[in-house]
Amino acid sequence: MSAEVERYFERQKKNTADNLYTCTIAEIIKVELKYMRADIKLLTGDENMIMQVPIAPQQTGEFIIRIPYKVGDNVVVMFAQSDIAPFLFGGGASSEGQHTIDDAIIVGGIRSFNELLLDEFAEHEEDLVIAKRDFSARIIIKENSEILIESDEDINIASKKNINISAPNGVVTTADSRGGTS
Q: Answer yes or no: is 69 within a domain.
A: yes
What pLDDT score was predicted for residue 120?
85
For 141, the domain range is 119-151
**Phi, psi angle pair for 148, to nearest 5°:** -115, 130
Q: Is 99 within 8 Å of 79 (Cβ atoms)?
A: yes
Q: Are residues 58 and 144 in the same domain?
A: no
Q: Answer yes or no: is 114 within a domain.
A: no
What pLDDT score was predicted for residue 67?
92
pLDDT tens profile 69-122: 999 999 999 988 888 887 888 876 666 666 677 889 999 999 888 888 888 888
Q: Is the pTM of this model over 0.75?
A: no
What pLDDT score was predicted for residue 97?
66
Q: Is the pLDDT of residue 181 over 60?
A: no
Q: Which of 76, 109, 142 is the last residue of a domain?
A: 109
Q: Answer yes or no: is 32 within a domain.
A: yes
What pLDDT score was predicted for residue 150?
94
Q: Are residues 59 and 91 in the same domain?
A: yes
Q: Is the pLDDT of residue 149 over 70?
A: yes
- Read off the pLDDT of each residue in 131-149 and give the average, rounded to a whole number: 93
Burial (CB < 10 A; 0-12, 13-18, 19+), residue 104, is buried
| 108 beta partners | 76
Mean pLDDT value across the chain: 85
Better pLDDT: 163 or 178: 163
pLDDT tens profile 49-84: 999 999 999 989 899 999 999 999 999 999 888 888
Dihedral over Cα of 142, 145, 150, 155: its sign: positive
Q: Are residues 128 and 147 in the same domain?
A: yes
Question: CA-CA distance, 66 to 31, in Å (whole number)?
Answer: 13
Q: Is the pLDDT of residue 14 over 70?
A: no
Q: Which of 58, 80, 109 is the last residue of a domain?
A: 109
Residue among 8, 9, 71, 6 at smallest CA distance from 41: 71
Q: Are residues 66 and 87 in the same domain?
A: yes
Looking at the 3D structure of the chain, how many domains does it have? Answer: 2
Q: Which of 77, 109, 141 is the last residue of a domain?
A: 109
Q: Is 50 within 8 Å of 40 (Cβ atoms)?
A: yes
